[in-house]
Amino acid sequence: MISASFFAGEKVFYLMAFIIILSGFYLFFTKKNLLLAVLALEIVFNGINLLFATVSFYYGDLKGQMIVLISLSVAAASFAIGLILVLNYYRIKKTLNIEEMSELREKIEDGGDQY
């Protein structure tokens, strides 16, 4: 097994993980497209998994790496469900604009038509 002292570039992985997480949050909060918001959340999950795997490798614990594998499979399933929801919303409304979703919510709360 490779020891943690062999892995000299560990700080690079920390930095990359934080850059990936921050870029995902940036995309999530700045873009007004529902599909891009779902993709941005997936980017954040992948950055967190990279950070978790790096810390797990640094401490020599395989449990963390197993959790990352499980987390990746759960993230893939949740991304598929989110993509299906986005696709169904697009079929109904013919738009992916997040601002129009808030207008729809206000309309429903006022007792108007649901579609």
What is the pLDDT at residue 1? 53
Contact yes or no for 51/19 (Cβ under 8 A): no
Mean pLDDT of the chain: 86
Q: How confident is the model at residue 2 (pLDDT cuts 50, 70, 90)?
A: low
Give domain 10-109's CATH number out of 1.10.287.3510, 1.10.510.10, 1.20.950.20, 3.40.50.2300.
1.10.287.3510
What is the pLDDT at residue 77? 95
- Burial (CB < 10 A; 0-12, 13-18, 19+), residue 42, is middle
The total of other beta-carbon atoms located within 10 Å of residue 20's CB is 19
- Radius of gyration for the chain, computed over Cα atoms and rounded to the nearest angstrom: 19
How do the domains of the chain map onto residue ranges?
10-109
- Rounded CA-CA distance 110/115 in Å is 13
